[in-house]
Homo-oligomer: A and B are copies of this chain.
Amino acid sequence: MDGPLETRELAYFLAVADDLHFSRAAARLGIAQPALSKTIQKLERRLGVVLFERNSRTVTLTPAGQVLAREARHALDAVDAAARRTRRADTGDPHLILAMKAGGDAGLLSPILAACDREPCSLPVRVIFHTDRVRLLRDGLADAALLYSPAEDLSGLDTEPLLTEPLMAVLPASHPLAARASLRTADLRDENVHGQRGPTTGPEARSLTELLQLVALGQTVAMVPRFVTTPLRHDLACVPVTDAQPVTLLLAWPAHSTSPAIAALARAASAASPGR
């Protein structure tokens, strides 16, 4: 009834919570089903809480189980990140890893890195290009990232805003709306709009260049922050969308970080951003 939860218990719980099936979950974990059942029971006894409703034919999460599913994922992320960051701290080659989307720095990266170099306590910065930068941060695979708000979930991160710019619609140059000085989201209602957020119908774009290629082919219309639209292919046009929330480019890092090197990078970013 007491004592802290073990990560093994949480991982087992999440396995069951994920496919709501003890036998399959056990197989995925590489253990036998009874062992899993017993561990879950023990976890429930220890918490004093029923986590699953077992109807002998179907398994469902109780409300408390839903809470634990969310919290456990967060806790395990934190544990894994602890291990990764510790390993990284031990390499003889100390450096920071900055994650960004290729072309998504609005030209600010160079001045930031230059300013960082002049900061005391700074470390060499290695840049990696990746789409899911938030995950890299949470998993401890990157130390900082260039993110977009409000497109991305910033919870658990500390941030330094760099630049705020309106959303632009990117259209084929020949598109009837391309000549307009500005648009409203309603104008694009009938288009197949590809944004930064959420899934849309139609073809998927893996990178900005791919996305713009699709726009040029007339298969979609893109809504992107202004700072990724320069320079623009000559067969495309971009028009501000006045009633869309503007996008902020920001530097983000794990919230509880106390590393002086991260602090130096944040100071550099603040100094190099056009805001000041």
Check: A118 CB closer than 8 A to any chain B CB: no
A118 to chain B, nearest CB (A): 23
Residues on B with beta carbons closer than 8 Å to the beta carbon of A10: 79, 82
In the complex, the count of this chain's copies comes to 2
Question: Closest chain B residue to A259 by CB distance?
Answer: B67
Given A6-B7, A70-B256, A256-B156 in contact, is the A90-B64 Cβ separation under 8 Å? yes
Complex Cα gap A4–B49 (Å): 25
A78: contacting residue among B11, B67, B74, B155, CB under 8 A: B74
Are B82's CB and A72's CB within 8 A? yes
Query: How would residues 55 to 92 of chain A score, 1 for a CB under 8 Å from any chain B CB and 0 otherwise?
Result: 00000001111111011101111111111011101100
Question: Closest chain B residue to A71 by CB distance?
Answer: B82
Residues on B with beta carbons closer than 8 Å to the beta carbon of A71: 78, 81-82, 85-86
Are B86's CB and A255's CB within 8 A? no
A-side interface size class: 35 or more
Interface residue ranges, A against B (CB under 8 Å): 4-8, 10-11, 47-51, 62-68, 70-72, 74-83, 85-87, 89-90, 155-158, 255-256, 258-259
Can you list 19 A-B contacts with CB-CB less than 8 angstroms, sorted by A residue number? A4-B79, A4-B80, A5-B79, A5-B83, A7-B7, A49-B89, A51-B86, A64-B89, A67-B89, A67-B259, A68-B82, A68-B85, A72-B82, A74-B82, A155-B158, A155-B255, A156-B156, A156-B255, A156-B256
- 18 further A-B contacts with Cβ under 8 Å, apart from A47-B86, A68-B82, A71-B82, are A4-B8, A4-B76, A6-B6, A7-B7, A10-B82, A49-B90, A64-B86, A67-B85, A68-B85, A68-B89, A70-B256, A74-B78, A74-B82, A75-B78, A75-B81, A78-B78, A156-B156, A156-B255
